Amino acid sequence: MRALTIRRPDDWHLHLRDGDMLKGVIGDTSRHFARAIIMPNLVPPVVTTADAQAYRERILAALPKGDRFEPLMTLYLTEQTSPDDVEAGKASGLITAVKLYPAGATTNSHGGVRDLDKAMPVLERMAKIGLPLCVHGEVTTPEVDIFDREAVFIDTVLDPLRRRLPDLKVTMEHVTTKEGIDYIRESQHNLAGSITTHHLMINRNAILVGGIRPHYYCLPVAKREHHRLALRAAAVSGDARFFLGTDSAPHIDPLKECGCGCAGIYTSINTMSCLAHVFEEENALDRLEAFTSLNGPAWYGLLPNEERITLTKGDSPIKFPAKIETDAGIVTVFDPLVPLYWHVASS
């Protein structure tokens, strides 16, 4: 197969940042994607419906002329979040989900949740009104090894929460382990998982072999190869509980290439090429559309996009820029370590 037309994709987990960075990166998403769930971990975070409304307007103002793109806004859950504000946000159509960052789990998460009991009134309201909870699924307990933090989170936080609130719809975001995939597969209802582009393509060797490579560092950190293979099997399976959330997370190079580098990989620009490569390797190009364009909207109760994009396979590798320049600084683009031949020919 050398050409593939699919419904226009959506990205169910995206960091757009703000200000100059937002202006520098948004076009890489709006070129191919119709909608994206926008992460609220700004500084300060997007905690109220009013914050989300203002951020949405800044995003729309930063769009390249002529691009149509719908930012799906989220709220950053804190122990002070008001159930009434969350309900009003959903009722107005502005808020698509609420995001749980365990405090200290990742970039700008210090204002996140320390004691889940304190957030129970909001979570109960969300279960009642059918508003999904997006979860960064890692414990932050210092004794737990960083490679085990997702698996321990499932056992000690996620499963007890889902038993306590079976009506709460939970998206386990950026699943990185076989344990996560198995947990979603075994669940009967109200649980789905997003998978990033980079976790389908790299394992932890990319970060550590031959020197420390900060541009492959993200959270949850990439795991062993057998986890990557489990993620790939889930992504290409067509199972409606798995869909794309790129977690494309731009940081300027000086903040990645230093003594304590930030977590995050920038993939918006080459994600569709990477995914076509992965799905072709897995003999599953016919299921790419489910992963990028059908399963996500079905889970979030939205219609799939009517527009189509066409991917074509060329004879020579596509040259993506190694870095993009923004007014906030230079951002390194994800290098998948293999040549890519598929590209979005019309969108």
- Residues annotated as part of the active site: 247
Cβ atoms of residues 243 and 299 within 8 Å: yes
* Contact present, 106 and 130 (Cβ < 8 Å): no
Nearer to ligand DOR, 25 or 294 (CB): 25
Site string for Zn ion, 65-104 (x = CB under 5 A): ----------------------------------------
Would you say 132 and 172 are in contact if contact means Cβ atoms under 8 Å apart?
Answer: no
Block residue for tokens 């936080």: 157
How many CA atoms lie less than 13 Å away from 74 in the CB half-sphere? 28
Residue 66: how many CB atoms within 10 A of its CB? 6
Interacting partner of 184 out of Zn ion, ligand DOR, none (Cβ under 5 to 8 A depending on kind): none
In terms of phi and psi (left: phi > 0; alpha: psi -120 to 50; beta: otherwise), the region of 93 is left
Piece of the chain touching Zn ion by CB under 5 A; list 92-100, 245-253, 303-311, 326-334: 245-253
Q: How many residues does the chain have?
A: 347
Count CB neighbours of 148 within 10 A.
14
Q: Which of 145, 150, 214, 140 is nearest to 181 (CA)?
A: 150
**CB 5 → ligand DOR: shortest distance, Å?**
32
* Residue 267 vs 293, nearer CB to ligand DOR: 267
**Which listed range, 87-95, 110-118, 221-229, 241-249, lies at the site for Zn ion (CB under 5 A)?**
241-249
Q: Does 239 bind Zn ion (CB under 5 A)?
A: no
Tokens standing for 52?
């989300």
Minimal distance, residue 18 CB to Zn ion, in Å: 15
Q: Could you say which of 136, 178, 228, 277 contacts ligand DOR (CB under 6 A)?
A: 136
C-alpha–C-alpha distance, residues 267 and 316, integer Å = 21
Other beta carbons less than 10 A from residue 206's beta carbon: 18
CB nearer to ligand DOR: give 1 or 208: 208
Closest CA to 30 of 307, 329, 334, 317: 307
Contact pattern for ligand DOR over residues 94 through 113, marking x by CB under 6 A: ------------xx------
Smallest separation, CB 271 to Zn ion (Å): 14
Quick check: 171 binds ligand DOR (CB under 6 A)? no
Binding test (CB under 6 A) with ligand DOR, winner from 119, 135, 219, 344: 219
The span of 68-76, 86-94, 163-171, 257-265 binding ligand DOR (CB under 6 A) equals: 257-265
CB 5 within 8 A of CB 290: no
Residue with tokens 């699919």: 6
Identity of the amino acid at 139: V
Under the binding rule (CB under 6 A), the answer on residue 204 touching ligand DOR is: no
And the tokens for 201? 């393509």
> Is 247 one of the binding residues for Zn ion (CB under 5 A)?
yes
Under the binding rule (CB under 6 A), the answer on residue 263 touching ligand DOR is: yes
From 57-65, 94-102, 224-232, 244-252, give the range in contact with Zn ion by CB under 5 A: 244-252
| Number of residues this chain uses to bind ligand DOR (CB under 6 A) | 12
Q: Which of residues 10-49 bind ligand DOR (CB under 6 A)?
A: 15, 41
Q: Which residues bind ligand DOR (CB under 6 A)?
A: 15, 41, 106-107, 136, 218-219, 247, 249, 262-264
